Amino acid sequence: MIRNHPNQTEFIDFIHPFGGRLPTSNRWVKLSHLIPWDSVERNYTKSFKKTKTGAPALSGRIAFGALIIKERLRCTDEETLAQIQENPFLQYFLGLYQYKEEPLFDPSMMVHFRKRFGQKALDEINSSIIDDALSHQSAPNKKDDNQEPPQPPSHGETPLDVLRKKRNRTRKSLRGRKNKDNKTRKIAYQ
């Protein structure tokens, strides 16, 4: 059984444990608005069997977000969970409405999260990110001759490593694009 909570609370409504509000300039707050969480949920839900038995699953946002946090912070599964438990910004990134002191899940769940997001799911999520980035820019729809063909993952690479490499290749290809006045556009990345 799966329960989805794809809608993110408005940032203003996040209840901070110590009073006040979380600043919108935080990197995790910014990143939370760049990820297509609906695509993440759709791919995560596909990986489950249709059954009414079993414990309810965590949301796809928590699963995928925890994997992103692990990769960005370059830490172990146990340390990832500790970071999430201690940091309200990470909890906001995972879609929580308020700060929780107790762990969200057992560190062993990270293994299951990795299994749920295969290469096909990561490719679809990555495509959604790229499509969204391109739709926010007025880039011409010409095919870039310098674009590298997709590469299969090398032995030992995790799906998130592949996603990171694809994102970096896309960034490089977008940096050199010219606008209508033949001037190179500046693209800011966080």
Domain that holds residue 74: 1-135+152-177+184-190
Confidence of residue 14 (pLDDT cuts 50, 70, 90): low
Assess if residue 81 is contained within a domain.
yes
Q: According to the model, what pLDDT value does residue 169 have?
A: 76
CB 103 within 8 A of CB 53: no
Give me 3's structure tokens. 């329960």
- For the stretch 120-144, pLDDT in tens is 888 888 888 888 878 876 545 555 5
Q: Which has the higher per-residue pLDDT, 50 or 9?
A: 50
Mean pLDDT of the chain: 78
In the block, residue with structure tokens 């692990």: 70
Q: According to the model, what pLDDT value does residue 188 have?
A: 52
Assess if residue 49 is contained within a domain.
yes
Number of separate domains in the chain: 1
Judged by DSSP in three states, 80 sits in: helix
Assess if residue 147 is contained within a domain.
no
- For the stretch 67-96, pLDDT in tens is 999 999 999 999 999 999 999 999 999 999
66 pLDDT more than 50: yes
Contacts 24+ apart (CB under 8 A), 50-59: 51/1, 52/1, 53/1, 54/1, 55/1, 56/1, 56/2, 56/3, 57/1, 57/2, 57/3, 58/104, 58/105, 58/109, 59/3, 59/4, 59/5, 59/6, 59/95
Q: According to the model, what pLDDT value does residue 130 have?
A: 86
Maximum pairwise Cα distance, the chain: 60
Assess if residue 46 is contained within a domain.
yes
CB 167 within 8 A of CB 72: no
Assess if residue 145 is contained within a domain.
no
CB 166 within 8 A of CB 148: no
Confidence of residue 49 (pLDDT cuts 50, 70, 90): confident
Query: Which range has highest mean pLDDT (38-52, 88-102, 124-138, 151-165)?
Result: 88-102
**CA distance linking residue 140 with residue 31, whole number of Å:** 25
Backbone angles phi, psi at 184, to 5 degrees: -70, 130
150 pLDDT more than 70: no
In the chain, % of residues over pLDDT 70: 66
pLDDT, mean of residues 13-21:
63
Assess if residue 144 is contained within a domain.
no
Judged by DSSP in three states, 2 sits in: strand
**CA distance linking residue 31 with residue 86, whole number of Å:** 19
Assess if residue 146 is contained within a domain.
no
- Which of 19-23, 29-33, 154-158 shows the lowest mean pLDDT across its residues? 154-158
pLDDT, mean of residues 40-55:
83
